[in-house]
Structure 1
Amino acid sequence: MRTWLAQHFAAIRGATRRLVASPLGTLLSLMVIGIALALPCAGWVVLDNMSAIAGSTSGIQQISVFMTLDAGRKDVSEIESRLRQASAGEWRFVSRDEALKRLQSSEGMSEIVASLPRNPLPDAFVVEPDDTHPKALERLAKTFAEWPKVAHVQLDSAWVKRFDAFLRIGKLAVVMLAALFATALVSVTFNTIRLQILAHAAEIEVSKLIGATNAFIRRPFQYYGALQGALGGLFAALLVVGSGWLLAEPVGELITLYGGSYAVRGLSTTGVGVLAAAGAALGWVGAQLSVSIHLRRIG
């Protein structure tokens, strides 16, 4: 067991020395790996933020429940009770007088409102559901429409469906992009390890002659590829976090203009670990393929 661990530690030390021995080449490789991993990761973070922004911005995914004009206080109280029982999310009551005042304060509407013989606006409830999936919103709107003294339920379901379809297409595009860059990273690591093998070809042949196993020969190159990939993943995380930090303030200001309050979601600690692990795994695969092909050639 000690011998096995010693061999692995020796392979890790050897891989680290090779990375340090050519700092410029290592830096360039890390930049290539980091950018390739950062692009799909940044795309996923952007889509996640867009989904959260849509849910946090007032008026984006809400249901308006309009009462009939003859609805009294008792009817309003019943609707309030039903909303509490339904646990539909956050909601607020907008009285007809409040709605008229808001309309009157709108530009160019004060004279029109003043000329009206009576208030034509109904009492209403504005509901912001917890579940903003299009089908869930439609089910909730249909339920509201069946309640007594409800004249009309307004839901911009077409917009919600379009936005949901956009997010699904975006996530699929990010997955395809990630698969494409993963293939490219394996190819980059494959070529890097191939150059390392050519530089140590004589050493590998001597090791084979004195009885070294294929696993012993593969090990340093596998760790080299994994370490390079892991460092590239950390570099990618740094790029994504830095970009998020730079965009946080202007995005927050933009959301505020639309009546919302939102803090940009960055890359979590788990996300950083996933990026590093993904880079290490892709580097290991590239090294494994490269060394296996070379060993097969020399028999």
Structure 2
Amino acid sequence: MKNWFRQHTRALRHTLLGLLRQPVSSLLNLLVIAIAAALPMLLWLLLASAGGVANRLPVEPQLTLFLKAERDAAATKQLEKALAARPELAKIRYVPRDEALRQLENATGTSGLTAGLGDNPLPDAFVLTLRGTAAAPLAALQAELGGHPLVAEIQADSAWAQRLQRLIELGRGLFDVLAVLLALTLLLVTGNAIRMQILTRREEIEVARLIGATDAFIRRPFIHFALVQGVLGGALACLLVWLMLARLNPAVVELARAYGQQFALQLPDWRVALCVVGATAALTLGGAWLAVWRHLRDFR
């Protein structure tokens, strides 16, 4: 056990010294690994941030009917009864103009909006919630009710929220594709780096074979090299993503605040960083193992 630990410690020390002896080429290799790991990590964090906003949005298909000011109470009651009899509507809520004004004042953080107007400019409205989430019934009902004599305007309130969720789903599909492509990139980059090291140390490996070195002994320095590069590259990727998001976050927070919302980009925590470093190290190890296994066969 002590001999095994001593051999791995020696191989790890030799790897670190080799990286320090060639700082420029080592830094370039680490940047390639870091960029390949940072891109899917950045996309995943952006999707997680957008997903948190989408989860707070109403996703049920909703229509808001803004009523005309010139109408009588009997006609309004008749419209409400007609809407209540429709089977495709799950919920109907009448919003008087005074309540709508209070909601607007609470949402914007202001009061006394009508002080300079003399009257409440907002109309009465019906908020309709449909059953299910299909878009076709929503469009059909919007076209039908838009021609009602009491309706001044009709608006689909949650259509944009549904579009946002569809965009997030598309982004998740892109994340899967990007993660697979960049994982293959890490395997190829690491495999090529190990292949070049094997070719430059070909004579040394042949001599080690002649004096009885095992495959594990020959493989060990290359595996340690890939492991160190994977860990350092993954850590550098986390640092790059954290710096980018931290730089963007103040502008994003101010933009959301201008619209009366609270939103910030999700920064990578220690669990995300650990997953990225672990995945990067595993991929570089896999690339190194395949490269060493393939080339060691040529020395037999």
**Corresponding residue number in structure 2 for 1:239:** 240
Instruction: Indicate how the Cα distance of structure 1 residues 238 and 23 shifts in structure 2: closer, same or farther if over 3 A, else same.
Output: same
Q: Deviations over 1:64-98 (max 9, x none)?
A: 999x978xxxxxxxxxxxxxxxxxxxxxx977533
Q: Percent identity?
A: 38
**Corresponding residue number in structure 1 for 2:54:** 54
**Corresponding residue number in structure 2 for 1:209:** 210
The one-letter code matched in structure 2 to 1:174 is F
Q: Deviations over 1:166-203 (max 9, x none)?
A: 11110111111111111111111111111111222122
C-alpha deviation, 1:160, in angstroms = 3.2
Q: 2: CA distance between counterparts of 1:134 and 1:211? A: 70
Instruction: Indicate how the Cα distance of structure 1 residues 122 and 190 shifts in structure 2: closer, same or farther if over 3 A, else same.
Output: closer
Does the CA-based 8 Å contact 2:54-2:165 persist in structure 1? no
**Corresponding residue number in structure 2 for 1:3:** 3
Q: 2: CA distance between counterparts of 1:208 and 1:95? A: 88
Structure 2: unaligned runs, 5 residues or longer: 66-72, 78-93, 106-111, 135-154
Does the CA-based 8 Å contact 2:30-2:229 persist in structure 1? yes
**Corresponding residue number in structure 1 for 2:297:** 296
The one-letter code matched in structure 1 to 2:183 is A
Cα root mean square deviation, aligned: 3.7
Q: Deviations over 1:3-47 (max 9, x none)?
A: 222222222122222222211110000111111111111111111
Q: 2: CA distance between counterparts of 1:100 and 1:9? A: 71
Does the CA-based 8 Å contact 1:100-1:121 persist in structure 2? no
The one-letter code matched in structure 2 to 1:53 is V
Please give the residue correspondences for 1:82-101 in structure 2 after superposition, counting only pairs within 5 Å. 97-99=98-100
**Corresponding residue number in structure 1 for 2:13:** 13
Provide the secondary structure at the position in 2 that maps to 1:163. Answer: helix
Q: 2: CA distance between counterparts of 1:61 and 1:235? A: 42
**Corresponding residue number in structure 1 for 2:254:** 253
**Corresponding residue number in structure 1 for 2:282:** 281
Instruction: Indicate how the Cα distance of structure 1 residues 228 and 121 shifts in structure 2: closer, same or farther if over 3 A, else same.
Output: same
Q: Deviations over 1:260-298 (max 9, x none)?
A: 112321011111111111121111111111111111111
Question: May I ask how many residue pairs the two structures share in their alignment?
Answer: 247
Please give the residue correspondences for 1:115-194 in structure 2 after superposition, counting only pairs within 5 Å. 121=124, 156-194=157-195
The one-letter code matched in structure 1 to 2:264 is A
Structure 1: unaligned runs, 5 residues or longer: 71-92, 125-132, 136-153
Does the CA-based 8 Å contact 2:46-2:265 persist in structure 1? no
Q: Deviations over 1:195-216 (max 9, x none)?
A: 1112221221111111111111
The one-letter code matched in structure 1 to 2:299 is I
**Corresponding residue number in structure 1 for 2:268:** 267
